[in-house]
Structure 1
Amino acid sequence: MITFFSTQHALHAPVWEFYRGQRVPCFESPARAQFVHAELLARGHAIRAPEVDSTPLLAQVHAPRYLAFLASAWAEWQGLSGGQATLQPFPSVWPVRSLRSDVEPANFTAKLGLYSMDNGTPLDAGTWAAAKEGADAATSAVDLLAQGQVRSAFCATRPPGHHAGPDFMGGYCFLNNAAVAAQAFLQQGCERVAVLDVDYHHGNGTQSIFYRRSDVLVVSLHGDPQTEYPFYLGHADETGEGPGQGFNLNLPLAAGTPAAAWFDALDLACERITRFGAQALVVSLGLDTYAEDPISTFALQPEDFLRLGQRLARLKIPSVFVLEGGYAAAALGSNAVNVLEGFEQG
């Protein structure tokens, strides 16, 4: 399977984050993509750099003022911090409930809070370049499929994207690569596109982007938000609004869910995608469902990721896989390529 690899991903390399009240090294690190890249090469998969500019599609997925903030945030922060690149900005105030979010404040920390859903998504000097190239990879993958040369492609990019909403970042995510790919399929003439999110954490950003639309079906199986991040979205009763009613399916699962129950939920997801009549599929390929992931609690083993790819192949839909979470970095490459090779065998 052809892979679009983000050559600039390592430019996004914040040193630390907050986790359970502690300052800890970032779980979402350049090593994640490096392990995937090494495994792809070891198993003989073709790797390309992104080729298509995603700028027009980004404007269809994300709010203009949010994109403008992301592109300029580090420079603005450096002006305030005296150019000390080792200082990482974090939000400390958010416009919850009765507070206004329609007016962008001039204060940088307040702006950062306006566009953040958490304080666990650190910025650094290369964040915009790395995130933008991830969106370029998603656009390039869809363009390749539209040429009719292949039926699938993989975007080995970071930072991930599925927690990024129309006008906010969160969960290590800044630009929503899966949403960009879905929008690109529509631009290429598809009338019905499905997004399947198999990350341990609910793709709240993707749901938010398409929640009132019927041309994109969003299906997610994930840890129950009663106990798992992102907590405030991902419940089973969230089925869409207005024109999008019935085009959002959440399948929340209890912490510790074994592989057999997880695959039962995957079958339900695949059945819904088939009924929808999807002409293209975007897979938010989170691999933090792995049993040894440090921040998740599902129980999938390496061979289960091969089975995941095989099951998705049975849908017989042109598919773009977009790398999302997965923080057992040393195993990430093997697990990711297992999915791709399972798909190719199907």
Structure 2
Amino acid sequence: MRTVYSEDHRLHDGKHELLEGQFMKVHESPSRADIVIGRVRSAGLGEIIAPQEFGLEPILKVHDEGLVRFLENAWDDWAATGRTFDALPHVWPVPGLSRGALGRRLSDCIDGKLGYYAIDAGTPIMSGTWAAVRASANVALTAQKLVATGEKSAFALCRPPGHHAGSDFYGGYCFLNNAGIAAQAFRDQGARRIAILDVDYHHGNGTQQMFYERGDVLTISLHADPEQEFPYFIGYADEIGAGAGEGYHMNLPLPWGTDWQGYSAALDRAMKRIEQYGAEALIVSLGLDTFEHDPISRFKLAEADYQRLGQRIAWADLPTLFVMEGGYAVEALGVNTVNVLMGFEQR
């Protein structure tokens, strides 16, 4: 399996986030990708290649231009106010606060723009963020091209991750939805039905929002119950899609403490639905924060379980694109990631 990777991920290196009422060092750090690429090399997974440049066109197929232009210019707008530290929002247009379209109005001020587009205060923007975000999208698109042109599988080592980013919002360490961009690329190249399987500990809220009213992209997310866990307001089992997308979204929320036995039962349900759907290609949003020692998560999967996860995904016998998402037990992240990929390859 070939891995697509860009050193430009290092340009995004947030200093602080607000998490559970505390201001702390950002968990989503460059060391995550460093650990993973090191393990890919030492395990001999396959060739590592650099991404191609695809421009903004495939990004704008699924993301609002306003969000994209905001991300492109946010640091310059922030720095123009004289601030040299990371940009984070501090106020949001909750219902009743704004009379603008859709209940919110876009401010000319960078602080207002941050609150308009961000869903949390845990996703800092700095001078290199946009370059890293663009590189991450290009990583996903390059790996998608490998699969679309005949390779059985590919691994997009995307950083920053993407599944919390919706068509017109960012957050949860995510700015652009790499899996969503890749799914649209498959569609634009002629595939009729694409499935996205999100195995991250946190609900793929951005992916759900992006395709919720579409029947050409089946989205399935296994995640911690939003009654207990971020992003809290979305990810419930009764959210099944709307309009043309009704029946083409599946949420499988699971309780804190879920181990492989409980997780694998939900995974079997997901894989059966993908088979019923008749997908022509599968995108896996590969979050590894389901690990028993992850510092911000509460599932109980062990290292060996990730090989089983890869093996179960392989049973679908579909062209498969793995897109890196979360996972914050950094020292174990490389082993767990490569265990999935080698399990998929049955080795």
Distance 1:17 1:180 in 2: 26
Query: What is aligned with 2:152?
Result: 151
Query: C-alpha separation between the residues in 1 aligned to 2:281 and 2:55?
Result: 19
Which residue pairs with 1:179 in the alignment? 180
The Cα of 1:204 is off from its aligned counterpart by 0.1
Whole-angstrom distance in 2 between the partners of 1:145 and 1:264: 28
The CA deviation at 1:22 is: 1.5
Q: Residue 2 in 1 paired to residue 10 in 2?
A: no
1:251-288 C-alpha deviation (Å, 9 max, x unpaired)? 00001111101000000000000000000111000000
Match of 2:126 in 1: 124
SS at match of 1:80: coil
Residue 327 of structure 1 pairs with residue 325 of structure 2: no
Tell me how far apart the structure 1 counterparts of residues 171 and 99 of structure 2 sit (CA, whole Å).
19
Aligned to 1:255: 256
Q: Which residue of structure 2 lines up, in the alignment, with residue 37 of structure 1?
A: 37
How far apart, in 1, do the equivalents of 2:100 and 2:233 lie? 18
Instruction: Spell out, residue by residue over 1:122-156, the C-alpha distance to the aligned partner (whole angstroms, 9 max, x if none).
Output: 111111111111111111111112221x1100011
- Where do residues 96-107 of structure 1 align in structure 2 (5 Å cutoff)? 96-98=94-96, 99-100=98-99, 102=101, 103-107=105-109
2:34 matched to 1:49? no
Distance (whole Å) between structure 1 residues aligned to residue 137 and residue 88 of structure 2: 24
Q: Please give the alpha-carbon distance, in whole angstroms, between the structure 1 residues aligned to 2:123 and 2:140.
A: 21
Partner of 1:203: 204
1:26 aligns with 2:22: no
RMSD: 1.1
How far did residue 216 of structure 1 move?
0.2
Q: TM-score normalized by structure 2? A: 0.97
Q: Report what 1:12 is aligned to.
A: 12
1:101 & 1:317 partners in 2: Cα distance?
A: 45
Asked if 1 retains the 8 angstrom alpha-carbon contact of 2:26 and 2:122, the reply is: no
Give the deviation of 1:54 after TM superposition: 4.8
Shift of 1:101: 5.5
Q: Distance in 2 between matches of 1:335 and 1:160?
A: 17
What number of residue pairs does the alignment pair up?
342
CA distance in structure 1 between the aligned counterparts of 2:6 and 2:177, rounded to whole angstroms: 15
**Would you say 1:134 and 2:136 are equivalent positions?**
yes
Aligned residue for 1:296, secondary structure, equals coil
| TM-score of the superposed pair, with normalisation by structure 1 | 0.97
Which amino acid in structure 2 is aligned with residue 257 of structure 1?
A: T
Whether contact under 8 Å (1:135, 1:177) holds in the other structure is yes
List per-residue Cα deviations over 1:48-100 (Å, max 9, x = no partner): 11114152111011000110000000011111125x2xx12211111122424
The gaps in structure 1 that reach 5 residues or longer are none
In the alignment, the residues of structure 2 paired with residue 80 and residue 100 of structure 1 have an alpha-carbon distance, to the nearest angstrom, of 27
Alpha-carbon spacing, 1:54–1:266, altered in 2? closer, same or farther (3 Å)? farther
Q: Is the 8 A contact 2:240 2:247 kept in 1?
A: yes
User: What SS does the corresponding residue of 2:61 show, helix, strand or coil?
Assistant: helix
SS class of match (1:316): coil
3-state SS of the aligned residue for 2:72? helix
Structure 2 match to 1:295: 296
Q: In the superposition, relative to structure 1, how do residues 54 and 308 fare at CA in structure 2: closer, same or farther (>3 Å)?
A: farther
Which secondary structure does the structure 1 equivalent of 2:14 belong to? coil
For 1:6 and 1:269, how far apart are their aligned partners in 2?
31
Q: How much has 1:8 moved relative to structure 2?
A: 0.2
Higher mean C-alpha deviation, range 264-273 or range 73-82: 73-82
- Work out whether residues 54 and 139 of structure 1, in 8 Å CA contact, stay in contact via their aligned partners in 2: no
